[in-house]
Amino acid sequence: MNSSNASQPGSSSSAASTKFVWSRPKFFKKKQSHFHGRAQTQLEVIELASRLEMAIGGTALIYRLIYSNGWREVEKSLTPKYQTKLEYENLQRREFEILSELNHPLIIRPVRLRPQPALGGGTTNVLFLEYLDGVSLAELWDFVRSLDSVPRLNWAYEILGQLSSVVSYLGKNGIVHGDIAPENIIIQKNGLIKLLDFGVATREGEGSLSFMVAGRNYFRAPELRSSGGTSHKGDVFAVGRIFEQLLGDAAAEESPHRELLKRVTEQRELPPISFDESGWFPGLSPMPPAEKLEPKVRLRPKTKLTPRPSFFDKHRKVLLTLGVFVSVPFISSFQPRRAKITVNTLPYSSVIFVNVNAQIQYETPVIGLSVPSGEHIIEIIIPEQNHRHVTRHIAVLPGDHAKLFEDFRNLDTLKK
């Protein structure tokens, strides 16, 4: 975040001069003026100019907020399904508390945690974070693969060094991230990374959470895959896996890259961190084109909260029951029959159901996904095989439950 955003709303330096009014998308900032030698306080109204969806996670929605004074930040709110559920609300609060304890330039910074009205009634915790100019490493694999051998090695070693700095800092402060993966590493326009998504992070000694991220076994240490647990050595293993992907298959088998890779993934030791003359990382080079580093947003309007009429509040059960009996037989005649699809792969992969929503990636196993009947195009992305893409076509009839299993492992590896 540049220096122009130093006096950010919600920060400790401006807490006394800023009041947020969450019933409307605006807040008020005090301004000092002088009249006849006396200081007078005025209120500058700062409105929310835009709120656009950036990403959809397993339990959360990510929005980009831009205010009338140019201030930008990110909002992370639970999806309606998980709002007001204590275990998920605690995840939001825990992530804010852990981020507030950390102070590292390559770790995303929290802004504030605020309770807001939930869609189903009650309140839900909404986490606000600093806005980052960049995209995830997962979105730049095509660019990385297009690099020649020397620039690609530079990328691999530079990201290894920056990640090692972050993970070493977390270990010294007793924090386990638990979900280090390309999707959670932002490549900024200045050539530095930012590690984000501390949703399942824990403090060492407290034990792992009862939650685990499905489909990330490629980046999870072997001893943690069955239990779903997390550890500092597990974070180090994930760093090695990312380094391996950045090197590519050929370079990963060459010396000295092979020895360093084994040191990180097998001995779970981070390499020494090297800086430039200024005492900091030189940054990634070459950088992708500017348009590839522009964060993508989805033009989906904000969900509006409207109060129910008092008449409906009084007679809700009667009206709903009457509506079900009257409308269901009529509406069901127009509804297309649906089917289910289950997809599993070895090794674990990402899956896109093109006909359903090409913007959402599922992690295998995908069990019993409800889809419209008919023919479906399924894109399978295999991270372990340099993000190889495989396309499958499958047709389902109304009421069917189709099951697709693919084994992409090398036969020679299986024999060994």
Q: What local confidence, expressed as pLDDT, does residue 29 receive?
A: 53
If you average pLDDT over residues 122-136, what whole number do you get? 94
Q: What local confidence, expressed as pLDDT, does residue 95 receive?
A: 95
If you average pLDDT over residues 351-374, what whole number do you get? 85
Q: What local confidence, expressed as pLDDT, does residue 20 receive?
A: 37
CA distances from 153 to 83, 136, 147 (A): 44, 19, 9
Percent of the chain with pLDDT over 90: 41
Instruction: Map residue 404 onto helix, strand or coil.
Output: strand
Q: What local confidence, expressed as pLDDT, does residue 17 receive?
A: 39
Q: What local confidence, expressed as pLDDT, does residue 299 receive?
A: 46
| Choice among 15-29, 121-135, 207-221, 322-336 with the minimum mean pLDDT | 15-29
Answer whether residue 72 shows pLDDT above 60.
yes
CATH superfamily, region 134-293: Transferase(Phosphotransferase) domain 1 (1.10.510.10)
If you average pLDDT over residues 179-205, what whole number do you get? 92
Q: Which helix (H) or strand (E) holds 260?
A: helix 257-265
Q: What local confidence, expressed as pLDDT, does residue 309 receive?
A: 46
Q: What local confidence, expressed as pLDDT, does residue 330 receive?
A: 65
Range with the largest mean pLDDT of 165-179, 296-310, 333-347: 165-179
Q: CA-based angle 106:207:347, to the nearest 5? A: 70
Ranges for all domains in the chain classified under CATH 2.60.40.1120: 338-415
Q: What local confidence, expressed as pLDDT, does residue 302 receive?
A: 41
If you average pLDDT over residues 194-203, what whole number do you get? 92
Looking at per-residue pLDDT, the higher value among 295 and 99 belongs to 99
CATH-assigned architecture of domain 25-130: 2-Layer Sandwich (3.30)
Domain 338-415 adopts which CATH fold? Immunoglobulin-like (2.60.40)
Q: Which pairs count as long-range contacts for 262-268, CB under 8 Å and 24+ apart, including other chains?
A: 264/160, 264/236, 264/237, 264/239, 264/240, 265/237, 265/240, 265/241, 268/221, 268/233, 268/236, 268/237
β-strand 374-382 against 388-396: which pairing, if any? Answer: antiparallel
Looking at per-residue pLDDT, the higher value among 195 and 9 belongs to 195
Looking at per-residue pLDDT, the higher value among 21 and 350 belongs to 350
Looking at per-residue pLDDT, the higher value among 386 and 174 belongs to 174
Q: What local confidence, expressed as pLDDT, does residue 209 receive?
A: 62
Q: What local confidence, expressed as pLDDT, does residue 32 receive?
A: 52
Q: What local confidence, expressed as pLDDT, does residue 150 receive?
A: 93
Q: What is the pLDDT of residues 238-284, one digit of tens each?
A: 999 999 999 998 888 888 899 999 999 999 999 987 666 566 778 89
pLDDT band of 39, cuts 50, 70, 90:
low
| Torsion angles phi and psi, residue 197, rounded to 5 | 60, 75
Ranges for all domains in the chain classified under CATH 3.30.200.20: 25-130
If you average pLDDT over residues 187-207, what whole number do you get? 90
**Contact (CB, 8 A) for 194 and 132:** yes
| Choice among 42-51, 215-224, 237-246, 358-367 with the minimum mean pLDDT | 42-51
Answer whether residue 174 shows pLDDT above 50.
yes
Q: What's the pTM?
A: 0.63
Ranges for all domains in the chain classified under CATH 1.10.510.10: 134-293
Instruction: Map residue 192 onto helix, strand or coil.
Output: coil
Distance CA 181, CA 320 (A): 45
Distance CA 413, CA 395 (A): 32
CA distances from 270 to 74, 194, 201, 219 (A): 31, 18, 20, 16
| Torsion angles phi and psi, residue 297, rounded to 5 | -125, 155
Q: What local confidence, expressed as pLDDT, does residue 112 receive?
A: 95
Range with the largest mean pLDDT of 40-49, 205-214, 234-243, 404-413: 234-243
| Choice among 58-72, 86-100, 326-340 with the minimum mean pLDDT | 326-340
pLDDT band of 211, cuts 50, 70, 90:
low
Q: What is the mean pLDDT of the chain?
A: 81
pLDDT band of 162, cuts 50, 70, 90:
very high
Q: What is the pLDDT of residues 307-323, one digit of tens each?
A: 434 566 667 778 788 77
Looking at per-residue pLDDT, the higher value among 316 and 183 belongs to 183
If you average pLDDT over residues 162-180, what whole number do you get? 94
Q: What local confidence, expressed as pLDDT, does residue 132 receive?
A: 92
Q: What local confidence, expressed as pLDDT, does residue 4 receive?
A: 40
Distance CA 339, CA 328 (A): 19
Tell me the torsion sign for CA atoms 98, 103, 109, 110.
Answer: positive
Q: What local confidence, expressed as pLDDT, does residue 229 receive?
A: 82
